[in-house]
Amino acid sequence: MRATIMYGPHEVGIENVPDAAIKDPTDAVIRITRACICGSDLWFYKDGPAVDHQAMGHEAIGIVEDVGSAVQTIRPGQLVIMPFVYSDGSCLFCDEGLQTACVHGGTFGVGGEAAGAQAEALRIPYADGTLYPLNVDPDDALMPSLLSLSDVMGTGYHAAVSAQVGPGHTVAVVGDGAVGLCGVIAARKLGAEQIIIMGHHEDRIALAQEFGATDVVRERGDAASERVHELTGGFGVKSVLECVGSEQAMNTALGVVRPGGAVGRVGVAHYDTLPGQDTFYRNVTVSGGPAPARAYIDELLPDVMSGKIQPGKVFDSTIGLDGVPEGYRAMNERQSLKVLIRP
Amino acid sequence: MRATIMYGPHEVGIENVPDAAIKDPTDAVIRITRACICGSDLWFYKDGPAVDHQAMGHEAIGIVEDVGSAVQTIRPGQLVIMPFVYSDGSCLFCDEGLQTACVHGGTFGVGGEAAGAQAEALRIPYADGTLYPLNVDPDDALMPSLLSLSDVMGTGYHAAVSAQVGPGHTVAVVGDGAVGLCGVIAARKLGAEQIIIMGHHEDRIALAQEFGATDVVRERGDAASERVHELTGGFGVKSVLECVGSEQAMNTALGVVRPGGAVGRVGVAHYDTLPGQDTFYRNVTVSGGPAPARAYIDELLPDVMSGKIQPGKVFDSTIGLDGVPEGYRAMNERQSLKVLIRP
């Protein structure tokens, strides 16, 4: 079968690799019908892969082809969402809805035990705990939005939940990438009254406004923080969704949050420390991390099925596997917001 | 009148100072009937005061002697709790119950505009927003517990609320000082099932157990973290109350919290940074800061009045103003847990 392999910075290719196959009795194998490229894949693209010949991709929808002897609920032929981590579905953390801390868990496509989803097929550890079955035609027009529940929409939602967004809140979203845009959807769903999108790309800002953003801050650094304060009576916002992961983005987030507010961070942390004193004296909460996307599907799926939320709009191009190297390039150069793959 | 003044490290004296008097029309003057020495006063005692001749003390109960022309609800003769910050009672933050961020607020006894409560009397800015009237005899046996609502019990409660303590939770309390002990009371009130007190003083540990601690960890550093993991099935606790403020205490707190858990910190932060990556990957929430003690009185007062909680037990000695210098020495050398002052 064919799969996406990363060799080094800016070096991605499509290779023939051994077919995905059951290894443990709790495994399934799925044929990938939709996958995509993630903003977090771009960190590898810029800095190089974590391991030699890294199999890429961690977001997918697929059809179950085979299941191991111990798989109890997942059945061949089912259409399933594959969240970006696998999880046993039975440990303390899975019970609490934090599948990203599963004691037997791991992440697809980051060089660990599991391979990647930007491929024709993939072995899924702990199929019962990991996969989320759908009752939808595999070619339904909702596929892009359903695919977003594997990571990007769940991640935006995690940012909003971690930032304690609630009815009537003032919210700032740092970053106008696909996660930030899904964060706007999430903030609106949770009842935010004012949603300030902080970004620089006009097409993305337009989509943010379509999703519910009420204000736009295009400035950077201190000027951005000043503008957010101007828009919020001088106080800053109650909730910040940090959807980038750079030190500058985190500083911006902490600069625009008001006393007693919360920063929900989901951008993969590329900074070593957080300020310890200013956050203390201002009673600022810092929360978030890798999103338990699976835990949020129950809550988000009805809104996707009804069309009330349309996170699939973050995909602005669709390619086959052969187009994946070009997809990385286009996303890295901000020519594409998020690339959908039909292997 | 007489008041407590700090001159330098380990140098505290009682001086005759000008009588407390109304300055602004929103002021009141109270005669202090009960005050005390705070663990946070000891940071000044060790490192030196923030300003020359610093008037000390920020926790009190008193009787209103005089009010300014604009004071509307507070009346002379009332017995009142004086929370450790003054607050206007009308700004955005006061409305939200975060009086420690009041736009016109400040802290008593730290060298700012307001003087200190370890004195015969004190001017109270924004009397209506600051003072909490009581319907109790000034010599009621509940005075120690009522006094604790001015800071130490509210601070322990803020730690527990910030650490998201809820029914059935596993909780660790870092520090067996008066705040930590009140944190045990708070964790129990909020429904925690397992409350691990981390400390080294047998008398304080005994009080923690009386307050509801279920387990004791006497180890320090890595050994302490290992022991907490042993006591929690290897996972660590869901909520940590950080009640010290040192870098070591914060490291311990972050070492014993489990993925998805929260650290509520109320010990005045004596560290510059928090780790940015480990907290991210483990979805650890860091929250807390100076406690809005006033906001918690409504919730805590009924339990104090009924005797259901007895935070006043943290006071293990009572002195007059003359005894204050010796009180600082005794608390600093851990010979006294918390000193109550009857000026």
- Which residues of chain B make contact with A273, given a CB cutoff of 8 A? 273-276
Q: What is the pLDDT of residue A42?
A: 95
Q: Which residue in B280, B284, B286, B287 has the most chain A C-beta atoms within 10 A of its own C-beta, making it the best mutation to test that interface?
A: B280
Q: What is the DSSP letter of A312?
A: G
Interface A-B, measured as beta-carbon pairs within 8 A, has a size of 107
**Who contacts A211 (Cβ-Cβ below 8 Å, separation ≥6)?**
A181, A184, A185, A188, A313
Q: Of A100, A281, A287, which has the smallest distance from its Cβ to B290's Cβ?
A: A281
Strand order across the B54-55 sheet: B11-16, B2-8, B54-55
> Taking the alpha carbons of A15, A17, A21, A23 in that order, is the dihedral positive or negative?
negative
Nearest chain B alpha carbon to A264 = B285
Measured CA to CA in angstroms, residue A98 lies from A130, A186, A300, A325, B162 at distances of 12, 18, 16, 33, 20
- Which residues of chain B make contact with A285, given a CB cutoff of 8 A? 162, 285-287
Specify whether the CB–CB gap between A162 and B285 falls below 8 A: yes
What backbone torsions phi and psi does residue B40 show, to the nearest 5 degrees? -70, -25
Over A37-76, what HEC string results?
CCHHHHHHHHHCCCCCCEECCCCEEEEEEEECCCCCCCCC
**Amino acid, single-letter form, for residue A263:** V
Look at phi and psi of residue A252 and say left if phi exceeds 0, alpha if psi is from -120 to 50, else beta. alpha
Percent of chain A with pLDDT over 90: 99
Specify whether the CB–CB gap between B237 and B259 falls below 8 A: no
**Predicted confidence band of residue B39 (pLDDT cuts 50, 70, 90):** very high
Paired tokens of A310: 């349309």
Residue B127: CA atoms inside 13 Å, Cβ hemisphere, count? Answer: 32
Q: What is the pLDDT of residue B154?
A: 98
CA distance B21 to B207: 40
Give strand pairing partners of B81: B61, B132
Partner-chain contact A285 B280, CB within 8 Å: no
Report the gap between the CA of A247 and the closest CA in chain B (Å): 10
Read off the pLDDT of each residue in A272-300 and give the average, rounded to a whole number.
97
Give strand pairing partners of B2: B16
CA distance A281 to B18: 32
CATH of domain A2-151+292-341: 3.90.180.10
- Which residues of chain B make contact with A233, given a CB cutoff of 8 A? 92
User: Chain A residues with CB-CB distance to B under 8 A?
Assistant: 92-93, 96, 98, 100-101, 162, 233, 235, 250, 259-260, 262, 265, 268-269, 271-277, 279-290
Read off the pLDDT of each residue in B158-163 and give the average, rounded to a whole number.
98
Domain segments of chain A: what residues? 2-151+292-341, 156-288
Q: What is the pLDDT of residue A291?
A: 98
Partner-chain contact B93 A284, CB within 8 Å: no
- Which residues of chain B make contact with A269, given a CB cutoff of 8 A? 276-277, 280-281
Rounded (10°) CA dihedral A203, A208, A210, A214 = -120
Paired tokens of A39: 């903003």
Paired tokens of B284: 């650890």
**Who contacts B334 (Cβ-Cβ below 8 Å, separation ≥6)?**
B201
Residue B176: alpha-carbon gap to chain centroid:
13
**Predicted confidence band of residue B295 (pLDDT cuts 50, 70, 90):** very high
Query: Of B268, B325, B270, nearest to B15 (Cα)?
Result: B325
Report the gap between the CA of B283 and the closest CA in chain A (Å): 5
Query: Of A92, A84, A97, A89, nearest to A127 (Cα)?
Result: A89
**Who contacts B130 (Cβ-Cβ below 8 Å, separation ≥6)?**
B82, B83, B85, B86, B87, B89, B124, B294
**Predicted confidence band of residue B128 (pLDDT cuts 50, 70, 90):** very high
Give the E-state strand segments of B41-176 in sequence order. Answer: 54-55, 60-67, 79-82, 85-86, 106-107, 121-124, 132-134, 170-174
Q: Tell me the ipTM for this assembly.
A: 0.96
Q: Which residue in B40, B239, B285, B296 has the most chain A C-beta atoms within 10 A of its own C-beta, making it the best mutation to test that interface?
A: B285
What backbone torsions phi and psi does residue A319 show, to the nearest 5 degrees? -135, 165
pLDDT digits (tens, 9 = 90+) for A76-87: 999 999 999 999
Read off the pLDDT of each residue in A117-126 and give the average, rounded to a whole number.
98
Q: What is the pLDDT of residue B232?
A: 98
Partner-chain contact B272 A271, CB within 8 Å: no
**Predicted confidence band of residue A185 (pLDDT cuts 50, 70, 90):** very high
Q: What is the pLDDT of residue A79?
A: 98
**Predicted confidence band of residue B250 (pLDDT cuts 50, 70, 90):** very high
Report the gap between the CA of A186 and the closest CA in chain B (Å): 19
Read off the pLDDT of each residue in B88-109 and give the average, rounded to a whole number.
97
CA distance B83 to B149: 7
Paired tokens of B338: 């918390």
**Predicted confidence band of residue A108 (pLDDT cuts 50, 70, 90):** very high
Paired tokens of A139: 């070619």
**Who contacts A298 (Cβ-Cβ below 8 Å, separation ≥6)?**
none
Tell me if residue B274 falls in helix, strand or coil. Answer: strand
Query: Of A223, A211, A216, nearest to A174 (Cα)?
Result: A216
Read off the pLDDT of each residue in B320-332 and give the average, rounded to a whole number.
98
Read off the pLDDT of each residue in A226-248 and give the average, rounded to a whole number.
97
pLDDT digits (tens, 9 = 90+) for B229-246: 999 999 999 999 999 999
Nearest chain A alpha carbon to B273 = A276
CA distance B25 to B85: 18
> Taking the alpha carbons of B54, B58, B60, B62 in that order, is the dihedral positive or negative?
positive
CA distance A229 to A304: 34
Percent of chain B with pLDDT over 70: 100
The CA R_g of chain A, rounded to the nearest whole Å, is 19
Read off the pLDDT of each residue in A255-270 and give the average, rounded to a whole number.
97
CA distance B212 to A55: 52
Report the gap between the CA of A187 and the closest CA in chain B (Å): 19
Domain A156-288, what fold? Rossmann fold (3.40.50)
Give the pairing of strands B339-341 and B28-36. antiparallel
Query: Of A48, A90, A46, A52, nearest to A72 (Cα)?
Result: A90
Quick check: do A2-151+292-341 and A156-288 share a fold?
no
Residue A279: alpha-carbon gap to chain centroid:
26
**Amino acid, single-letter form, for residue A85:** V
Give the E-state strand segments of A219-316 in sequence order. Answer: 237-242, 257-265, 273-275, 285-288
Mean per-residue pLDDT over chain A, rounded? 97
Tell me if residue B94 falls in helix, strand or coil. Answer: helix
